[in-house]
Amino acid sequence: MTSKLVWVAALFTLVSCTKQAVDNSPLNYVNPLIGTAPAATISAINHGHGTENNAQVIPSVTVPLGMTNWTPQTRATETKCVAPYYYNDSTINGFRGTHWLSGSCVQDYGSMSIMPLSGKLKCGTLERASAFTHNEEESTPYNYRVTLSDYNIQVEMTATRRCGMFRFKYVNEGEAHIVVNPNSDEGEGFTQILPRQNEIIGYNPVHRIYQGWGEKAGFSGYFVARFSHGFTNYGTYQDEDVFEHVTRISDLKNLGGFASFYVNKNEVIEVCIGTSFTSIEQARKNLDAEIGAKTFNEIKSDLKNTWESILNKVQVEGENEDDKTKFYTALYHAFLQPRTFNDVDGSYVSFSGGDKILNSGDRNYYVDFSMWDTYRASHPLFNLLMPNENTDMMYSLIDKAKQGGWLPIFPCWSSYTSAMIGDHAITTLADACIKNVIELNDEAYSYLLKNAFETPEDFAEYKNGKGRRALESYKKYGFVPLEDEVKESFHQQEQVSRTLEYAFDDFALSQVALKRGDNTNHELLTQRAFNYKNVYSAADSCVRGRYIDGRFTDEFNKLTRMPYITEGTPWQYTWYVPHDINGLMELMGGQEGFNNNLDNFHAAKQYWHGNEPGHQIPFLYNFSGEPWKTQKLVTEIMKQEYDSSVGGLSGNDDAGQMSAWYVFAAMGFYPVCPSVPEYVISGPHFDKITINQDNGNTLKIYAPGASSGKNYIQAYSINDKNVANNFLSHSDIVNGGILKFQMSDTPNKNWGREKNARPFSLSK
């Protein structure tokens, strides 16, 4: 009897420990639905933009950085600023293989949808839609499940890097159908039924709709859908016109194909879908290579293990469970873009409308860089946690330059674009180079210099997105004057913001020149890095539009949007001098003037966390002797602008930048100035953080009490050596070791105040 009780107790302990281990898995804290509902955060209320103030993310089932993401589809369009899924929608009309730029306001492209039905065949996306409830919806990075109530069908999906796999369980016996269609808003596309192979194939031509011109991008999204069940009927359709046993249809609006079956009660039909940007045959090869004979559960398990491995690169411990949900969901969102473009054998269509099929060899080739956003924190996060993948991303940028002749500014849809401002591919490459993640050879370096100093002679190439906008004005005057309205750009005017961003990009390139021993360009670019001063109005303590003759414009209100500022106000952009905060401080009359201006800025509720240009602002008090204010601000932003509800993101996530900000803030440091291998310290928000790095080194961060409200730094040490500086070097992280923070719920106004404690700045 006693031994039996011991055995039962041991079994109970084993089960409890196993359950605890499972519950502590970072995957259990990821909620892909966060950000799919309207936000009610401060930024969303004061400055909100985008459809219904959603963060424009979707519940993607995907491999990190995958080619095609899989999502429930509540809106069947590739229209700009309309994501495939919104939490507040009440019906699902398909399940999409999507190339949506996560958290963005660009348009989807090359996508396709699949929808199961029972009873009467209904092909149009509105007609076939089914009600669903969130009570019967489960979303994880590796699996999505939902019940389509109108049809009593249980849907489950999982994925590989280039393929999706679906299980459709038909609860009711009888007539069943599966509809497949390309999501073309252009009245284009192709679908073919291959009944002997149990396949439906097709493609959706890609258009660069976001730029407003709608040109063809020169490639398509191809798919091969393979069914586990033979067809009892099949055909194609256009709108609600059904063409039974007609196997091909193309270049019409709302076209697609269907397969019909007779199913028994609770019968399951599985569909595997291979995708490619190269050809239907390559989509089939991807399908055979990545899924082949594997079962649904095997694919799901593989994807689960992949996410488990990548999320475990950062292990956090603390009292607040909601914070873990926010952290690991942010990490998930940060790892969705850029996108794998090559097939399993390395094949991909050359950049910018090229008709060549190239090969990436033993590395992946990436597209869809939301560069205006992601250079700030996303790519620095990759340099820390995914340096091998970021290496491939950086060489993908260089490959685009080799294929198109210019380093791209904002490469989406495998195309040049002038979608945003700045030249931040330079900064992103510089950051990876300075942190020794990549090596830039002479050819690669020449493309960076070309962007900084040359403008395409062919106007058509310039209009198409090659080269910096308004570079000639910038070089001639040291700023972009208001007379140059930058008409050949999706974002026109915005002259002050361009000046500020080019000055920073010039600084980043100067660091590469310095590392390479190119003293001539280092000195020239360093001087250009001070161009931000040319649009600063001392009378206003703020940046302001300026004419060629030096006059500042009368069109000025520092609190409201101005046409010479990008997506913000002059006061918000004033702080965009990440490379020379000390120089900006001097313009404002020194440390006291800088702090007063920054205090007034926050008191006026000007800080807008929902958009990227200000993401460095909360950390700037570290430069001006008041780092406790940074610690307070970062804590408030993490609490007010992020939460664990479905409306928990305050603005467009923009390919993971909003989420990467949170990851850095939670770890306690932030890359204010990419291309400088240092981080500004703001203090950890977990009691213990373990960063497991690809080089085999581990960094452990201890901050007892941080998760329960002790968010002010009293002291900190690196490998038991006390440090007064309020910055952390990149080498301190990658070399591994132990950081210890002494935290409190009250500020220590003496820590980090020394002048030599300030992080890097161009002006000494």
Average pLDDT over residues 142-165: 98
* Contact present, 266 and 175 (Cβ < 8 Å): no
* Cα gap 420→104, rounded to integer Å: 12
Q: What are the respective helix, strand and coil percentages of the chain, to the nearest 5?
A: 35, 25, 45
**Closest to 743 (Cα-Cα) out of 458, 303, 229, 318:** 318
Buried b (16+ CB within 10 A) or exposed e, 410-435: bbbbbbbbbbbbbbbbbbbbbbbbbb
Question: Is residue 756 predicted with pLDDT exceeding 60?
Answer: no
Domain count, the chain: 1
- Judge whether 256 lies within some domain: yes
Tell whether 155 is covered by a domain. yes
pLDDT given for residue 214 in this prediction = 73
153: helix, coil or strand?
Answer: strand
Which comes out higher in pLDDT, residue 754 or 119? 119
pLDDT over threshold 80, residue 354: no
What would the two tokens of residue 436 be? 């020794």
- Give the pair of three-digit tokens for residue 87: 């939490």
- Mean pLDDT over 713-724 rounds to 93
Looking at residue 20, what is its pLDDT?
41
Cα distance between residue 211 and residue 216, in whole Å: 12
* Residue 140 pLDDT exceeds 50: yes
pLDDT given at position 118: 98
Which pLDDT does position 758 carry in this prediction? 62
- Quick one: angle between helices 657-667 and 321-334, nearest 10? 130
Residue 97 lies in a domain: yes
3-state secondary structure of 193: strand
Residue 14 pLDDT level (bands cut at 50, 70, 90): very low
State pTM to two decimals: 0.95
CA-based Rg of the chain, rounded to a whole angstrom? Answer: 27
> If you average pLDDT over every residue of the chain, what do you get?
93
Q: Is residue 715 part of a domain?
A: no
> Residues 584-618: pLDDT tens digits?
999 999 999 999 999 999 999 999 998 899 999 99
Confidence at 6, pLDDT banded by 50, 70, 90:
very low
Question: What does the block give as tokens for 535?
Answer: 């649009």
pLDDT at 757: 62
The pLDDT assigned to 48 comes to: 57
Per the structure, the complete domain to which residue 241 belongs is given by 66-311
The CATH code of the domain that includes 100 is 2.70.98.10
Does 10 have pLDDT greater than 50?
no
Question: Which residue type does 407 have?
Answer: L
Helix (H, G, I), strand (E, B) or coil at 397: helix
CA angle 365, 165, 277 (to 5 degrees): 30
Confidence of residue 71 (pLDDT cuts 50, 70, 90): very high
Confidence of residue 175 (pLDDT cuts 50, 70, 90): very high
How confident is residue 651, by pLDDT bands cut at 50, 70 and 90?
confident
Structure letter (DSSP) for residue 134: G
Question: What percent of the chain stands above pLDDT 90?
Answer: 88
Mean pLDDT, residues 144-151? 98
Assess whether pLDDT exceeds 70 at residue 499. yes
Cβ neighbours around 471 below 10 Å, total:
20
> CA–CA separation, 389 vs 366, rounded Å?
10
Using the CB atoms, write b or e for 256-269: b if 16+ within 10 Å: bbbbbbebeeebeb
Residue 279 has pLDDT above 50, yes or no: yes
What pLDDT score does 650 carry? 85
Tell me how far apart the alpha carbons of residues 482 and 563 are, in angstroms, rounded to a whole number: 10
**283-316 residue pLDDT tens:** 999 999 999 999 999 999 999 999 999 999 999 9
- Token pair for residue 503? 């000055």
- Kindly state whether residue 373 falls inside one of the protein's structural domains: no
Q: How far apart are the C-alpha atoms of 8 and 672, rounded to whole Å?
A: 56
- Cα–Cα distance for residue pair 739/650, rounded to 1 Å: 31
Contacts by 289-297, CB closer than 8 A, 24 or more apart? 289/344, 290/160, 290/161, 290/162, 290/163, 290/344, 291/160, 291/163, 291/165, 296/156, 296/158, 296/165, 296/167, 296/270
E strand or H helix at 384: helix 378-385
Interstrand relation of 737-744 and 698-702 (parallel, antiparallel or unpaired): parallel
Q: Name the residue with tokens 């992280």.
A: 733
DSSP annotation of 412: B
Query: What tokens does 209 get?
Result: 């709709």
The 10s digit of each residue's pLDDT in 684-704 is: 999 999 999 999 999 999 999
pLDDT tens by residue, 18-69:
444 445 899 999 999 999 999 877 667 666 554 467 899 999 999 999 999 9
User: What six digits make up the tokens of 505?
Assistant: 């990009």
Q: Quick one: pLDDT at residue 764?
A: 64
d(CA 408, CA 447): 10
pLDDT at 546 > cutoff 60 = yes
Q: What is the pLDDT of residue 210?
A: 61
CA angle 520, 525, 529 (to 5 degrees): 155
Sequence-ordered alpha helix ranges (H) in 435-470: 442-453, 459-463
- What 3-state DSSP class applies to 569? coil
343 inside domain:
no
Q: With respect to residue 230, please indicate whether it lies within any of the assigned structural domains.
A: yes
Strand (E) or helix (H) holding 329: helix 321-334
CB contact set of 298 (below 8 Å; sequence gap of 6+): none
Average pLDDT over residues 378-383: 98
Which among 419, 355, 425 is positioned nearest to 396, based on CA atoms? Answer: 425
